[in-house]
Amino acid sequence: MTLPTFAERLGAAFADHGHLCVGIDPHEYLLAEWGLPVSAVGAHEFGLRVVEACVGRVGIVKPQVAFYERFGSIGYRVLEDVLKEARNAGLVVIADVKRGDLGSTIEAYGQAWLTPGAPLEADAMTISAFQGFGALRSPLEQAGRHGKGLFVLAATSNPEAMAVQTAVIQRETQAGKSVAGGLAQRAVNWNRTHAEGPIGNIGVVLGATVDFADFGIDLASLAAVPATPILAPGFGYQGAQFADVKRLFGVAAAVTVVTASRSILASGPAALGDAIKRQADLLGEAIA
């Protein structure tokens, strides 16, 4: 029996639960506010409670790996539990790891997060192509082989990124485009030659707080079938509003994963389910 690919699962999540993705971000202050210890034990309980609250309300979660990694080996151990519980619950799991390297090293990162049955298995991972899109060949091939996904950092929401990500590429096929625009176009091109359905397995990260025109991002190209999915941080705590989704992402809003973390998690464990439902409904109205 062939399992559904990341693209197929993402499309089903959009159809069944909408576009909201809840971040699993156990910040120190949130652990304290939730009455949990600032430790791997607290992060474990936090993650499992978020997963439980998401089931039936949204279809996508995004664990921020750094908040588990800071606790060392035990942090990774409890993260494995959170990832497993989320995937067993039918949620699409995007591991926010932002790994980037080349050769056998980037291959090993792909094996860690994209291999079926691996302790850290997720449905997709965020990845950096600072060394060039071609350096991603191993994880790109692993994603295709295992039906997994990648979200390539293109135009991120931090203001410091603009100087680098708007720089103009001087060589090869994307010469003349910005770094962000060139990376996005390489993802589009990969999906055009490898996708087997209306959505590709390879997406891009576009922060909702940036002006895509400044970054040379062609939203129409991303939306064209096979569509290149967008992972969009920056909503809620960082300032972007759900009401602006269609204005910001235009025709690509239909394949945009809208992430929110602290603005939902700050509601606390008792009100978390209601907060997720309320935010999912607001986003659904904005995208309809």
pLDDT in tens, the chain (288 residues): 688 999 999 999 999 999 999 999 999 999 999 999 999 999 999 999 999 999 999 999 999 999 999 999 999 999 999 999 999 999 999 999 999 999 999 999 999 999 999 999 999 999 999 999 999 999 999 999 999 999 999 999 888 988 999 999 998 889 999 999 999 999 999 999 999 999 999 999 999 998 888 899 999 999 999 999 999 998 877 778 999 999 999 999 999 999 999 999 999 999 999 999 999 999 999 998
Cβ atoms of 115 and 126 closer than 8 Å? no
Q: Give the closest residue to 47 by CA, choosing from 64, 32, 71, 69.
A: 64
Q: Residue 3: its pLDDT value, please? A: 86
CATH top-level class of 6-283: alpha beta
Give Cα 129 to chain centroid, integer Å.
Answer: 15
Q: Where are the domains of the chain?
A: 6-283
- Token pair recorded at residue 213: 């025109």
Q: Note if the bond before 119 is cis, omega within 30 degrees.
A: no
Catalytic residue, candidates 98, 148, 177, 277: 98
Q: Residue 1: its pLDDT value, please? A: 65
Assess whether 84 carries a catalytic annotation: no
Q: Residue 234: its pLDDT value, please? A: 87
Full 3-state SS string of the chain: CCCCCHHHHHHHHHHHHCCEEEEECCCHHHHHHCCCCCCHHHHHHHHHHHHHHHCCCCCEEEEECHHHHCCCHHHHHHHHHHHHHHHHCCCEEEEEEEECCCHHHHHHHHHHHHCCCCCCCCCEEEECCCCCHHHHHHHHHHHHHHCCEEEEEEECCCHHHHHHHCCECCCCCCCCCEHHHHHHHHHHHHHHHHCCCCECCEEEEECCCCCHHHHCCCHHHHHCCCECCEEECCEHHHCECHHHHHHHHHHHHHHEEEEECHHHHCCCCCCHHHHHHHHHHHHHHHHC
What is the tens place of the pLDDT at every residue in 136-160?
A: 999 999 999 999 999 999 999 888 9
Q: Residue 239: its pLDDT value, please? A: 78
